[in-house]
Amino acid sequence: YSVWALPPPDFKHRLKSLMSSLRSEFAGPIFDPHITVVGDLPLRREDAVKPFTTRIADIAYGTFFYQCVYLLIDPSPEVVETSAHCCGHFGYNRSTPYMPHMSLIYGDLSEEKKERARTRAMEIDESICGLGFEVSLLALCKTDTRDRTTESWEIV
């Protein structure tokens, strides 16, 4: 399971369009736009915020399949505190510092392809960096990270 912060519907459409364009060039599975608040929670289904504003700081890429190319989210107090609250609520201890982000594509791309995808994302949506939006919905999601197709993932 994981907890996601979901963008508002009007911004979700814009993100899905950007993600689809990148997927058509660089492949990867389909998934809903989200900010991972808490990832890979070891929960059973039966165990299983008030709105805050966040801002996209940059487009970046990482070294993990699930952090291939992403929008780097400004780690504002509201974003960080929401993650800390959810970690505490579910008894989750992070092994790495929290880096708020919204993935654009998942995959095992070379550094060169990740940089091309990052650059392409900027070309597709030039004004996305610096954009702020309200998060008024969190979702608990069943996300088996062994399923790289994301087909088994579901919002519960």
Helix axes 9-26, 111-124, angle to 10 degrees: 140
Task: Say which residue the tokens 């708020």 belong to.
Answer: 100
The pLDDT of residue 50 is 65
**Which residues are known catalytic residues?**
34, 101
Residue 103 has pLDDT above 90, yes or no: yes
Return d(Cα 33, Cα 104) in angstroms, integer. 7
The pLDDT of residue 68 is 96
Going from N- to C-terminal start, the domains of the chain cover 2-147
pLDDT 10s digits, 37-50:
888 888 777 666 56
Amino acid residing at 107: G
The pLDDT of residue 136 is 81
Architecture of domain 2-147: Alpha-Beta Complex (3.90)
Task: Give CB contacts under 8 A, 24+ apart, made by 143-152.
Answer: 143/1, 143/2, 143/39, 143/40, 145/39, 145/40, 145/66, 148/29, 148/65, 148/106, 149/29, 150/29, 150/30, 150/31, 150/106, 151/29
What kind and span of H or E run contains 52? Answer: strand 52-61
Q: What is the mean pLDDT of residues 16-40?
A: 92
Phi first, then psi, for residue 7 (nearest 5°) are: -70, 160
Higher pLDDT: 114 or 139? It is: 114
Nearest 5 degrees, angle CA 93-CA 5-CA 150?
80
- Percentage of the chain exceeding pLDDT 90: 65
